[in-house]
Homo-oligomer: A and B are copies of this chain.
Amino acid sequence: MSLPHALLTSLLEKSCSGYDLARRFDKSIGFFWQASHQQIYRELARMEAAGWIFSVADSNSRTKKRIYSVLPSGVDELKRWVDLPTEPIMQRDEFFVRLRADAAIGPLGMAEQLQKRMQIHQLKLASYLLIEQRDFLSHAKLTRQQQIQYMILKAGILYEQQQLQWSQHLLELLVQLDPH
């Protein structure tokens, strides 16, 4: 289970509320791990019960906002977990299931869906390149943390670029195979 550890890492980078975490998961962290706000709130409650984190009401006491911070035992837990053997990577992409169905009983007009998918990849790529420009290319010297975070971002960039390239090839094949 990675979510609590993703949350611990995020909180170590900066203490914040569940709501803030949910928004962060829509951005940087969300590129390799997604989570809904419901899941995050539930997990934060568990982690607080486990003594990994604690929360204080926001200084602006009129809201229900609670700021969470990591306790030493949370850091210990994170270190313990990082050292655990990496379990095989889960590859689950519905699009390939669809494509294989099309191969079996098609043509089912996958080109349209493929183009929508390419647009999504295009958008993701653009947003990653923006982050790259803003956070990593404009600085002369990067800290250790920044260099590693840059490598993570690069993995995302490479993935999206490759998906786009592959999709382009597939599109050409589909057009050639099934002229509409």
Contact = CB atoms under 8 A, between A and B. Distances in A.
Interface residues of A, number: 65
A22 interface: no
A37 interface: no
Query: Copies per complex?
Result: 2
Interface stretch (A41-49, A59-67, A153-161): A153-161
Given A6-B100, A86-B117, 4 more contacts: A2-B94, A82-B101, A102-B148, A104-B145
Interface of A: 2, 5-6, 8-9, 12-13, 29, 31-34, 75, 78-79, 81-83, 85-110, 113, 116-117, 120, 144-145, 147-149, 151-152, 154-155, 158-159, 162, 166, 169-170, 173, 177
